[in-house]
């Protein structure tokens, strides 16, 4: 029996097998490798952050910054709202990035007419043909894709750029243009407690606890107990004494039981024990801690606290 083989079919099979085999060898041999591009990161708590920013009592005093001499008039500060408006105009009146600057020059006066607060500096930047706003391009593409059931003010502006009607300048919220509406300037306001950690600890300020007090209930709790903690040790080895106290709380901020002395450490057992008693006394005396957030009760129904005399001297 003779089997008739279709030559074209056989050739196709052979070619497919060859292609697939080549593909298996060439693609499967190289696995995807993730470049080890990692940075060492220390994870710290909010309290630790506050502690680092707080400074040291024996640190160097903060040097007051010298006053700046006036060398020129202050540059007007951009207003965020105005900037957003300007962005909208930019997207609508820049259909051809290849236009020459000379031809675009009439545009800035128009903006100046529309918006008295406009700044000539920004108007000069705008005609730069080399700079193509990618956001504007993206929005333009989106606009082109959309059906045009009714003419928008911006589109009218495109059609008759020389006589823009007044409604065009009104800011109309468009969810699709949020990206364009975002203010891309660097923030001008500084955080209250400083965004950078001190490389060298300074004397600190009386508001240095802001992070701890504002950010967590822990800072507020420590501050409240501190008011009642007064163990008057007058030895020079105060930094060696510590006491661990366990505290169990009720949801209303009162103590569920007497604070428990877990451990007392120090060169003298009698002194460290007296200090631990004083610490427990302070916790009881300063209750109730009604400011503790009730919705976070699970986080403070048990509080472990370590009392130290480190900074007393």
Partner 1 sequence: MLGVQHALAQQPPRLKLTPDEFQPIPIAIPNFVPGSPADGQVGADVTGVITNNLKRSGLFAPIDQAAFIEKITNIDVAPQFQNWKSINAQALATGRVTRQSDGRLKAEFRLWDVVSGQQLAGQQYVTAPEYWRRIAHIISDQIYSRLTGEKGYFDSRVVFVDESGAAERRVKKLAIMDQDGANVRYLTRGADLVLTPRFSPSSQEITYMEFGQGDPRVYLFNIETGQREIVGNFPGMSFSPRFSPDGQRIIMSLQQGGNSNLFVMDLRSKATTRLTDTPAIDTSPCYSPDGSQICFESDRGGKPQIYVMPAQGGNAQRISFAKDDVNASYSTPVWSPRGDYIAFTRQGGGQFSIGIIKPDGTGERLLTSGFHNEGPTFAPNGRVLMFFRDPGGSSGPSLYTIDITGRNELKQPTPGYASDPAWSPLLS
The residues binding partner 1 (CB under 8 A) are 45, 47, 51, 218, 221-222, 225-226, 229-237, 244, 258, 268, 270-275, 277-281, 284-285, 299, 302-313
d(CA 260, CA 236): 27
Residue 285 C-beta: closest distance to partner 1, Å: 5
Q: Residue 51 or 122: which CB sits closer to partner 1?
A: 51
CA distances from 276 to 218, 236, 285 (A): 20, 18, 14
Q: Residue 190 or 270: which CB sits closer to partner 1?
A: 270
Structure token pair of residue 28: 């499967």
Nearest to 53 by CA among 203, 190, 189: 203
Q: Residue 122 or 278: which CB sits closer to partner 1?
A: 278
DSSP the chain: ------HHHHHHHHHHHHHHHHHHHHHHSS---------------HHHHHHHHH--TTSBPPPPPPPPPP-SPPPPPPPHHHHHHHHHHHHHS-S-TT--HHHHTTHHHHHHHH-TT--HHHHHHTT-TT---HHHHHHHHHHHHS--SS--HHHHHHH-TTS--GGGGS----GGGHHHHS--SPP-SPPTT-SS--SS-B---TTTTHHHHHH-HHHHHHHHHHTT-------TTGGG-EEEEEEEB-TTSSBSSPPEEEEEESS-HHHHHHHHHHHHHHHHHT---TTS-GGGHHHHSEEEEEEE-TT--
Residue 282 C-beta: closest distance to partner 1, Å: 8
Residue 55 C-beta: closest distance to partner 1, Å: 14
Q: Residue 176 or 296: which CB sits closer to partner 1?
A: 296
Structure token pair of residue 81: 């709202």
Residue 243 C-beta: closest distance to partner 1, Å: 10
Structure token pair of residue 208: 């240095």
Residue 211 C-beta: closest distance to partner 1, Å: 15
């Amino acid at each position: 029996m003779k089997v008739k083989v279709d030559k074209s079919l056989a050739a196709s099979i052979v070619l497919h097998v060859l292609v697939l085999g080549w593909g298996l060898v060439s693609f499967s041999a190289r696995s995807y490798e993730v470049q080890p591009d990692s940075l060492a990161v220390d994870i710290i708590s909010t309290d630790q952050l506050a502690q680092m920013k707080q400074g040291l009592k024996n640190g160097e005093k903060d040097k007051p910054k010298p006053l700046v001499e006036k060398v020129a008039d202050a540059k007007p500060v951009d207003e965020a709202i105005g900037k957003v408006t300007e962005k909208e105009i930019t997207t609508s009146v820049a259909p051809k990035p290849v236009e020459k600057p000379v031809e675009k020059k009439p545009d800035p006066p128009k903006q100046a007419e529309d918006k008295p607060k406009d700044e000539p500096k920004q108007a000069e930047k705008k005609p730069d043909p080399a700079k193509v706003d990618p956001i504007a391009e993206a929005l333009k593409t989106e606009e082109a894709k959309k059906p045009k059931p009714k003419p928008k003010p911006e589109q009218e502006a495109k059609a008759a750029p020389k006589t823009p009607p007044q409604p065009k300048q009104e800011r109309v919220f468009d969810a699709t243009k949020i990206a364009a509406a975002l203010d891309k300037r660097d923030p001008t306001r500084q955080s209250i407690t400083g965004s950078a950690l001190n490389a060298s600890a300074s004397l600190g300020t009386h508001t240095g606890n802001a992070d701890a007090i504002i950010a967590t209930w822990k800072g507020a709790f420590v501050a409240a107990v501190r008011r009642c903690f007064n163990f008057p040790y007058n030895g020079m080895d105060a930094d060696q004494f510590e006491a661990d106290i366990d505290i169990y709380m009720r949801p209303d901020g009162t103590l569920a039981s007497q604070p428990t002395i877990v451990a007392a450490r120090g060169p003298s057992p009698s002194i460290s024990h007296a200090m631990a008693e004083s610490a427990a006394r302070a916790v009881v005396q300063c209750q109730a801690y009604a400011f503790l957030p009730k919705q976070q009760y699970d986080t403070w129904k048990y509080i472990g606290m370590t009392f130290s005399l480190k900074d007393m001297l």
